Chains A and B, each alone.
Chain A
Amino acid sequence: MNLINPNFISFVILALIAVGASLGVVFCKNPVRSAICLVISFCVLAVLYFTLSAEMLGITQIVVYAGAIMVLFLFVVMLLTTANQESLNPKLDWRLILASLFAVGLIAVIGFRALLPFNQTITPRAPDGYGGPQELGMALFTRFGYPFEAISLLLMVGIVGSILLAKRRVR
């Protein structure tokens, strides 16, 4: 198993960008910057989805996350930053230490007990070009009909809830 192939190298580069961006999300002082970092990591993830030959989902990722969710985030962040300039950045306290300890533990445990075996599995077994729009749509409306309905219900609830939250009491 040689890891020196262009695919792997490009993957490593993408992964490094993603990890750096995610770190930026956590450690940027300025929420707008962390939002930007998040956008970057999302876009990188979309590219990674492409490499997993899930173009549909990659594009959806961009449309949904980069296109809608992050714009919402930026909107809110800007509103908030207009109000209070002082940013809430992490102070080094017992939480930081404890949390990082836990995180490291998580990485260690999962990484060593669960992930190492997968280093051997290199060849993707799913047929190439799986999950085209047609296939996804069929699956979505046949096999996953009930979850789909449930999700739609959830979205409806979300819409109503957000409208209620945002609505000013009529006087």
Chain B
Amino acid sequence: MPIFMVMPLCIWLERRLLAFMQDRLGPNRVGPMGLLQPVADGAKLFFKEDIMPAGVDRFIYILAPAVALFPAVTLGAVVPYAAPIGTYGLLTPVADVNIGVLYILAMSSLGVYGTVFAGYSGNNKFSLLGGLRASAQLISYELAMGMALACMVMVSGSLKISDIVLSQESPLWGIKGVDIENWNAFTPFGFLAMIIFLVCMIAETNRPPFDLPEAENELVAGYHTEYSSMKFATFYMGEYLAMLMFGTVFASVFLGGYNFLPINWHAWAMANSGAAPLCDFMEKFSYYLGPVWLLGKAIGVVVGYIWIRATLPRLRYDQLMNLGWRTLLPAAVGNLMVVALWITATATYGTGIGWLITLVVMAIWLGIYAVTVRINRSKGIQFEERSVMMVNPSVTTISANDKSPEAVVL
């Protein structure tokens, strides 16, 4: 599978890019531009001594890394990598099942078990807290993610990833005679869903700024504090694999999948015969090299990850919860309603008026939503309170705005 080939590249990319953004050099010794650095790391981790701390829950401790790797590997199994070419069918790693989106949701929700098991089995307070945070975080962001995907499912009218990709090849905004393809990222609600999905994606892969489960300044190294050598490497791989896989999913749900550019070359060639040969060539170009484009987009998403990591500071726990429950979820649900409205409106009143209605309603709704979010912000909220009890039940009364160290743990 090409993913395994690309994954070390991602690691290298992250380190180099991060270094570039932080005005450092980064790994540049091993191989040209340090390209072999991941290999070297792998080798090092492989030959390290495998320490099993005392008093760990052995079974779960060994189970955890595998469980962590599994969903990351299986996540992208349903993403189509290329359009059916000649006699070959649709190119997907495993199969293009008719419930692909649900499958992706299921796998991504399984992703937390590795973290939780690792955190629990370590027999270590901090890793336990890491596991707790991971589980809470996952539950909070799974919902918004599902909603964001549901919007796109409603738009394309199918749970099949390949259908979603195909539906993005229709002309933009359903306007006849436009050669630009209707990638979901270009429609307003699609764009909103994309933002939401991006945030949830980052949160589910425990990447900065949502890497609270491994917040090194609060919990030593989070859930994999107690892990070393190959087990740790497995977590590491799992993280980057998950990034890439989510990248492919993101690319094929929002960025037109295996298509090169959002341009319907065929229609364009029809339109002006002068550019016909060029269009013809471009069409083939984007047609046969589908996997390249998909992986390219995925890597682009990974670059986005890295960029965000380099840009944003880590959230506080209550901020995380606020964002998940009070900002993203309402936004996603409202977006879902807007999509439903769009579908019915375009079906009833035709494209133009349908879009008009949809945009007006969306504007109104966004206004209301912004106001409510502002209001929510203005109100304080007591997430720390109960979280304190999670640490030790004896401490019960800590007011919301108490910034004592216990109050901000978890």
Contacts and interface: CB of A to CB of B under 8 A. Distances in A.
Establish whether A and B are touching in the complex (CB under 8 Å).
Answer: yes
A63 B143 CA distance: 11
Contacts of B125: 82
B136 to A, nearest CB: 6
A78 interface: yes
A68 B145 CA distance: 13
Contacts of A132: 98
Interface stretch (A11-19, A53-61, A91-99, A144-152): A53-61
B110 A78 contact: no
A63 B99 contact: no
B116 A67 contact: no
B14 interface: no
A152 B320 CA distance: 27
B106 A59 contact: yes
A166 B386 CA distance: 9
Contacts of B59: 33
Interface residues of A, number: 26
Contacts of A63: 102, 105-106, 109
Contacts of A48: none
A66 B103 contact: no
B interface secondary structure, majority? helix
Contacts, number: 80
A75 B142 contact: no
Nearest to A68: B139
Contacts of B385: 168
Contacts of B142: 67-68
A74 B110 contact: no
Contact of B120 (A59, A71, A78, A83): A78
Contact of B131 (A55, A59, A72, A78): A78
Nearest to A61: B106
Nearest to A59: B102
B254 interface: no
- Chain A at the B interface: SS class: helix
A78 B128 contact: yes
B180 to A, nearest CB: 30
A59 B386 contact: no
B390 A36 contact: no
A39 interface: yes
Nearest to B160: A133
Contacts of A67: 105-106, 109-110, 142
A123 to B, nearest CB: 24
A66 B159 contact: no
A75 B102 contact: no
Contacts of A56: 99, 102
A60 B117 CA distance: 23
A66 B142 CA distance: 13
Contacts of A74: 116, 120, 131, 135
B112 interface: yes
Nearest to A166: B386
Contact of B60 (A32, A71, A168): A32
B149 to A, nearest CB: 11
A82 to B, nearest CB: 7
Closest A-B pairs by Cβ, 5 of them:
A67-B109, A62-B106, A59-B102, A63-B106, A75-B135
